[in-house]
Amino acid sequence: MAAHLFFVTGTDTGVGKTVFTALMTAHLREHGIRAVALKPVSSGSRRDGRILRKAAGQVLPLEEVNPWHFRAPLAPREAARRERQRVRLCQALAHIRRVAERFEVVLVEGAGGLLSPLGEDFDSRDLIVALRARTFVVCPNRLGAVNQTLLVFEALPRAAAARASVVLVSPRRPDLASRTNPKLLAERLGPGRIWIMPWLAPKKLTA
Ligand SMILES: [Mg+2]
């Protein structure tokens, strides 16, 4: 497998995983790196897959960016069962590895949070471990972010946690908590592992 693998998870659903993954993918491609982003499993809307596909210059069809999509807005395992379907860890891994053979960097976005059930026998943590992926933990930068982020780090195996970074998504208006969270997190996790994502107007993201 040739590609560097990054996995994007978050402290909750709807925290900015897709935005960060899309920005990273576009940034790497602007610098001439053959990067692509995948959302292997999704449920409810298929918007994430479309955004990631666009961020990578549409080099892959949606069916490869997001091979498993289920209609119910539930954890993917349950959404799949409602369509009498099953996704297994070995299938998801095989797909990601096949794509990774053709690119320099592959960013994989989970669905929901670290332990949200993605398929019959796996969640995002299982993918991170099996892929030995570098992990980004996306969290809204607000009061409570330190605890939420550290809980995710606690849930990661030690080797994965040691290579993981935090992405704090800036609020529209910074407050005392958002200004001091990066320092508190750096004290616990070490320097150089806290990334700050600026606040972006929602309309700019979908334009
Ligand atoms: Mg998303």
**Tens digits of residue pLDDT in 114-142:** 999 999 999 999 999 999 999 999 999 99
pLDDT digits (tens, 9 = 90+) for 43-89: 999 999 999 999 999 999 999 999 999 999 999 999 999 999 999 99
pLDDT at 203: 65
Ligand 1 ion: Cβ-proximal residues, 5 Å cutoff: 17-18, 48
| Residues contacting residue 71 through CB under 8 Å, at least 6 positions apart | 43, 44, 79, 82, 83
Q: Band of the pLDDT at 201, cuts 50, 70, 90?
A: confident
Average of per-residue pLDDT across 169-174: 96
| Residues contacting residue 167 through CB under 8 Å, at least 6 positions apart | 16, 20, 136, 137, 138, 139, 195, 196, 197
- CATH code, domain carrying 162: 3.40.50.300
pLDDT digits (tens, 9 = 90+) for 79-114: 999 999 999 999 999 999 999 999 999 999 999 999
pLDDT at 102: 96
For residue 184, with 0-12 CB atoms within 10 Å meaning exposed, 13-18 middle and 19 or more buried, which class applies? middle
Cα(73) to ligand 1 centroid in Å equals 13
Cα(204) to ligand 1 centroid in Å equals 16
Number of domains composing the chain: 1
Is residue 205 over pLDDT 70?
no
Average of per-residue pLDDT across 137-163: 98
Question: How far, in Å, CA of 197 to CA of 173, rounded?
Answer: 13
Question: How far, in Å, CA of 28 to CA of 14, rounded?
Answer: 23
The pair of three-digit structure tokens given for residue 128, joined into one six-digit string: 């991170």
Q: Band of the pLDDT at 207, cuts 50, 70, 90?
A: very low
Average of per-residue pLDDT across 148-168: 98
Segments forming the whole domain that contains residue 22: 4-206
Q: What whole-number percentage of the chain has pLDDT above 90?
A: 94
Strands (E) located in the chain:
4-10, 35-38, 41-43, 68-70, 105-109, 117-119, 122-123, 134-140, 165-169, 194-197
pLDDT at 200: 87
Question: How far, in Å, CA of 22 to CA of 52, rounded?
Answer: 5
Of 206 and 106, the one with more pLDDT: 106
Of 141 and 207, the one with more pLDDT: 141
Cα(8) to ligand 1 centroid in Å equals 9
Cα(150) to ligand 1 centroid in Å equals 21
Beta-carbon count within 10 A of 136 CB? 21
Q: Which positions are catalytic?
A: 39
Residue that has been written with the tokens 């607000």 in this structure: 142
Average of per-residue pLDDT across 151-172: 97
Strand partners, 196: 168
pLDDT at 58: 98
pLDDT at 204: 57
Cα(10) to ligand 1 centroid in Å equals 9
